[in-house]
Structure 1
Amino acid sequence: MRVFTEDEQILLRRIRDGQGRNLYSLIDPWINGVSFQVNTQTESVDFIFEANPELNLIDRLEEIQTIVIQAVNLIKLFEDNGYIFTFINANQLPPNPFTFGQAAVNVPSIPYHFPDPRLSKMFCEYSIREIFVTPELDKFISDGFLTREEVRANRQWRTTRNALLVAIVALVLNVAFNIINIVDRQKKEKTSDPIKSGFKNSKMSSNVQSDTTTIMDTITVIKTTSTVVNVKTDTIKK
């Protein structure tokens, strides 16, 4: 929906807890020394401030305007979205015009005419209405002032984020595993090279020795044959 200020959150909790059954009770903690004169026919609102030496009218006026604007806009916003309903209790309609608030009567006062016609109309409308709260408002506040859609979107975002983190971790582990396998294979290949070289040298030496033995045997046979031939030749001569 939107981000709510601290005062707006307090106002919403007061509505939920039954402390803001109407506009007057809703803004009651903020209007000490201030009353409102409402005319529902002309849709006009006048602020009435108690005149006292400690009153800083500019600052106090800003405070009252702020809380009034927040209150009437919250009521309209949450009524439009189905969190609350407002209704007119015909048995409790005040005479018109009427005054409510906490300013003392029959003491010096300072009036101020609220100039915004749109907000004045909303103020007049909600000043004679009662507020009915639905369970949806309690859930909204319990969820941290988030709508169901926002809660669902946050949940989906967390699920997506967790899935992405798992995928990244799995990818990193897979890359690390492949690197470790490559390093181990290279180490094994380096270790087996000298063994292969030694085996080749041993085989070559064995072949040389075998060839040498064969050659010596051949020479011996030749010598023996030559001796036999010589002996036969001598015998024939005799």
Structure 2
Amino acid sequence: MSALLEARGLRLAFGGVKAADGIDLAVTAGEFLAIIGPNGAGKTTFINMATGYLRSQGGQILFDGAEITGRSPREIVRRGIARSFQLPQLFSEHTVEENAALAIAARDGIWSPFRPLLRPAWREEARDLLDRFGLLPAAALRADALNEGTRKLADIAMAVALRPRVLLMDEPTSGVAASEKMAVVETLARVLRSSGVTAVFVEHDMDVVERFADRVAVWAQGRIAALGSPAAVLADPEVQRNVIGIARPARATGGRAADA
């Protein structure tokens, strides 16, 4: 199957630190790809390059066969790639419903803090979107009144409002209480899969990775050190030692075979 999002030989260095040292990665339509690795391995750098927030110093990024290397974030969004950040990017003084309506207005090319909110069609679409994310009970709440799990869902709902084909998420469970984490990711997975959105997400919680990823890519010093199914990758002794940081009991690698 051909790749929907592809990196070919991506390179980027900050001084003497190689944040991307020849990254080759192909993401197929409909899959959920988790990116794991120690801090400083280049995981967020890859997301920033794929979404236009950083320019690579070498290599290519392709989306649906067309090169998008060096394109602006806005142009990349228009082509069908959206992202969420580790810290939710919400308008704190607006309600959850208003935040969703603003995202819809931005998608349609109209940007104003006030006028888009008055359009009934956008409000109706916003409420439908919030309903899919289970956020209707919070629709009238200001964004700064939400707990972290709800803030994360609202932030990703705004990204989904852009109607992306690919969504890149930087630590979608960061800051979310342990008791809420699985429910948050279950909601995300349900909405994204039902919408046909391909997902690439950086994650540090291995239980989340094991449960929701189709494949796992391990970043180490700007390179992909391992790539395969969650069962195969998380059972790798090198991954257990250098990424997970604890000795996990070995598990059978039945089910999906490793892709590395």
Give the TM bin, normalised by the shorter chain: under 0.3
TM-score (norm 1): 0.24
Greater per-residue helix proportion: 1
Greater per-residue strand proportion: 2
TM-score (norm 2): 0.22
